[in-house]
Chains A and B, each alone.
Chain A
Amino acid sequence: MSLQIKNLVVYYQTLRGYVKALDDVTFSISDGEIMGLAGESGCGKTTLGNSLIRLEPPMKYIKGDVELDNEKLPVWNSSQMNAFRFKKISIIPQYAMNALNPTIKIGKMISELLSSRKFNYKKIKPELERRLDLVELTHDVLNMYPIELSGGMKQRMVLVLSTLLDPSLLIADEITSALDVSTQKAVAEMLVEFRNRKFVKSMIVITHDISILYQIADSILVMYAGKLAEKASTNVIVNTPRHPYTKLLISSLPKVGVRYTEKKLSGIPGNTPLLLDPPAGCRFRDRCPVAFDRCFEEPPFVEIEKDHYIACWKECTEND
């Protein structure tokens, strides 16, 4: 197992109380797996990704364990996490367009970053250039300032930088959202290429666009309102989903390539609950077409078939 998360709870501390953005999350990713992470806007995808690498205020670690390659990650301790960041676990943040310091040349920034982490830029540079070739960036970008790059170029630059030290896990947050359809496809394929070449062992790919996940992900994890709803292989999620939310999500999907959250899920009536004070029991209850008495209790996230996990009383009871 590459990544194993057990009962992870991370809240946002706000003046009005805790925002329960990540509640009791348990799942794992195997070596070489590309896991897609999907769900409506605000369901906690970015929070999950950030919790694994940069858990800073106002985020607050409540409890839970994270293991990467059988080694415990001290996610609650920023300075201890530094040893893992970049080398073992890396992120392409949701704001990748602005992720590079605007007033310094990219090559100089990389060189200063590497030497601050006790790596030799000169030694790494040939490999860096090989990877720039791979993502179709000229070596010239190293002599440029970030504003001289287009959005797609910046995204690819960040992809190369984040994976430069061959981390075990890469979290790619909305890496394709800001791009046009053809560039999206190219970037998605680069992610797979990076995995195949073993630059990264496994990946979490967060996206609004399930069609991208259909192309590249081995498995898909669906979140709803800070909780996990369903995890299974991509095929199962897309063709035979079991959780009522996943079913609605997939069936309400318009044509391939259109992003579901932008249409605010016309197919699913109602709104996501506020995470400041979520309802007890299943958080999807108010919108669920098949809700029943038991749903006032919280459904556990259980394995109903091999590698198929689901948090729904309906599906579990039918299996009992």
Chain B
Amino acid sequence: MKRYFGRKTIIYLSTFFLAVTVDWAIPRLMPGDPIMNLLSRVSVRAEASEAMYGYYTKAFGLDIPVWKQYINFWIALFHGDLGTSVYLFPQKVVDVIIMAVPYSIALLVPAILLSFYTGNKFGAFAARTKILDNTLLPVGYLLTAAPYMWLGILLAWSLGIVVGIFPTAGAYDFNMAPSFSWPFIFSLIKHWFLPFLSLFLVQFGGWAIGMRNMIIYELESDYSHYLESLGAPRSLIRKYAYRNALLPQITGLALQLGVIVAGSLVTEVVFSYPGLGSLILSAIQNKDYFLIQGCFLFIIIGVLIANFFIDIAYVIIDPRTRLGMAGE
């Protein structure tokens, strides 16, 4: 057990190291000069511009050799310093991200948890229920096959524009100031609903289909047949089959996490929802190295931590893996 977690920790640490390195490198390989970009926003005279270029290059630490930049990046990282945003200068990258993260989490966490729970329950229920199997499951296939962006646009268009009950952009009404009041909270929920729904639906379809197929396999397995021949009631057999079918679904969740997060970023863009996705888009448009890096770093850390917890949960739930490790 100890060795298992030791090995896992090493894997996670090296993944983290690699991901951070790539995260550091990618914006530097992108075309375009962020400082020029910054200066082009403020129209100044040519000689002033030259001086300012030198100043900003130094300020952002871009005047030193690349390997030093890399080491400095790690050092700063451990101090929780992700640098200064170019595009929202002089705000700190961390502060900019902290503003956006709650919106992303508010979309992602409920969508993941609710779709996982309800999708699995529904898939198990639909399996072996002829009518549902023939009608709603094709819908499930359609939903999972739908790209996040496509479903988001469809929802924004149908429920937002045609029916007009939901707003399609922003996190709250533009003419409202954030406050802790019912109208404001109501506005938050109204704006949250469509992006949440499109994330939820795509994932729901995937879990429902997966569970339906897995539980049919479990219900046809030897232990289910044996219980049947011992006269066990359907409810008991289904209970066991559901639990065993859930295990591969949990692994699936760990594997899917990255895809889901990516889908969520795109969905935010579709709905101009001010989370990390929209922030990344602006950062890319403004060639803001540090902001792009910071956003991805946050996502990397978030996904790794979530994966780690799913790994642990799996080991706790499945006695086969747990016992398989007992000798270690």
Which residues of A are interface residues toward B (Cβ below 8 A)?
53-54, 56, 78, 81-87, 90-91, 93, 95, 98-105, 112-113, 116-117, 145, 147-148, 158, 161-162
Are A117 and B240 CB-contacts (below 8 A) given A101-B223, A145-B323, A148-B323?
no
List, in ascending order, chain B residues with CB within 8 A of A78's CB: 228
A99 touches B226 (CB 8 A): yes
Encoded as 1 (CB less than 8 Å from any A CB) or 0, chain B from 184 to 198 comes to 000000000000000
Chain A residues with Cβ below 8 Å from B320 are 102-103, 145, 147
Contact A99 B222 (CB under 8 A): yes
CB contacts (< 8 Å) of B240 on chain A: these are 101, 103-104
Instruction: Give the total of B residues in contact with A, Cβ under 8 Å.
Output: 22
B65 within 8 A of A: no
Query: Contacts of A100 on B, CB cut-off 8 Å?
Result: 223, 226
Annotate B299-325 by CB proximity to A: 1 below 8 A, 0 otherwise: 000000000000000000011100100
Q: Does B7 sit within 8 A of A, measured CB to CB?
A: no
Q: A93-B229, A103-B319 provided; 17 other pairs, C-beta below 8 A?
A: A54-B228, A82-B231, A82-B233, A84-B231, A85-B229, A86-B229, A93-B226, A95-B225, A95-B226, A98-B222, A99-B223, A100-B226, A101-B223, A103-B243, A103-B247, A112-B236, A158-B226
Interface 0/1 of B141-170, CB less than 8 Å to A: 000000000000000000000000000000
Q: Helix, strand, loop or mixed for chain A's interface?
A: loop
A113 touching B244, Cβ below 8 Å: no
The chain B residues found within 8 Å of chain A, CB to CB, are 221-223, 225-233, 235-236, 240, 243-244, 247, 318-320, 323
Main secondary structure of the interface of B (DSSP, over half): helix
Say yes or no: B243 contacts A83, CB within 8 Å.
no
B250, chain A: closest CB distance, angstroms = 12
CA distance A162 to B229 in the complex (A): 9
Q: How close is B315's CB to chain A, nearest CB, in angstroms?
A: 13
Nearest neighbor of A92 in chain B, beta-carbon distance: B226
CB distance from B171 to the nearest CB of A (A): 43
A105 to B319, CA, bound (A): 9
Known: A95-B222, A98-B222, A112-B236. A103 touches B318 (CB 8 A): yes
Q: In the complex the two chains form, is A85's CB within 8 Å of B223's CB?
A: no
A26 to B227, CA, bound (A): 28
A91–B236 touching, CB < 8 Å: no
Do the beta carbons of A102 and B244 come within 8 Å of each other? yes
